[in-house]
């Protein structure tokens, strides 16, 4: 007898788990879009350092670093989240499905196109004489 293994051994701390609506694989996403309190602590540390480093040059203006650091944190978080959303087994992208079903369908078909054709253009059998 073979039991179905549903343990999440690949993801230590999933922010959310769900089943892929297309291929029924159990999925887990480790990051959430949106900053957590911990991120603000990290941002404060990075900003504090940058303000300290540029204080002699920029004075109070060096607090602009806070907004730059914030922007970077947001961008990285969003990029990480978006990378984790598409299903690695069938290419289904839930974030696109919400916005545009046509795009989501195209992503899935592109995914399978890529699987069908192995990237080996010149290694086919040719008469070697
Ligand atoms: Zn899937």
* Distance from Cα 88 to the centre of ligand 1, integer Å: 7
Ligand 1 centroid from CA 12, angstroms: 20
User: How many Å lie between the centroid of ligand 1 and the Cα of residue 113?
Assistant: 15
pTM reported for the whole predicted model: 0.63
Centre of ligand 1 to C-alpha 26, Å, is 8
CA of 105 to the centre of ligand 1 (A): 12
Q: Which residues surround ligand 1, an ion (CB under 5 A)?
A: 20, 22-23, 87, 89-90, 92
**Residue 84 Cα, ligand 1 centroid: separation in angstroms?**
12
Q: Supply the DSSP string of the chain, one letter for each residue.
A: ---------S-SS-SEEEE-TTT--EEEE---SS--HHHHHHHHHHHHHHHHHHHHHHGGGGGHHHHHHHHHHHHHHHHHHHHHSS-TTT---HHHHHH-HHHHHHHHHHHHHHHHS-S-SS-S-----
Per-residue pLDDT tens digits of the chain, which is 129 residues long? 555 555 545 666 788 888 998 999 888 888 877 788 999 999 999 999 999 999 999 999 998 999 999 999 999 998 888 888 899 999 999 888 889 999 999 999 999 998 876 656 555 555 555
Residue 94 CA to ligand 1 centre (angstroms)? 10
Within a 13 Å sphere around the CA of 10, how many CA atoms are in the beta-carbon half? 9
Q: How many CB atoms lie within 10 A of CB 45?
A: 11
């Amino acid at each position: 007898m073979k039991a179905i293994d549903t343990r999440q051994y690949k993801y230590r701390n999933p922010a959310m788990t769900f089943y892929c609506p297309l291929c029924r694989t159990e999925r887990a996403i480790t990051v959430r879009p949106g900053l957590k309190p911990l991120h603000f602590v990290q941002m404060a540390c990075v900003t504090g350092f940058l303000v300290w480093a540029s204080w002699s040059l920029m004075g109070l203006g060096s607090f602009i670093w806070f907004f730059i650091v914030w922007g970077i944190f947001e961008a990285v978080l969003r990029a990480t989240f978006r990378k984790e959303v598409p299903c690695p087994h069938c290419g289904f992208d839930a974030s696109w499905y919400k916005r545009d079903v046509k795009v989501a369908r195209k992503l899935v078909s592109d995914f399978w196109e890529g699987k069908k054709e192995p990237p080996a253009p010149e290694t086919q059998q040719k008469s070697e004489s």
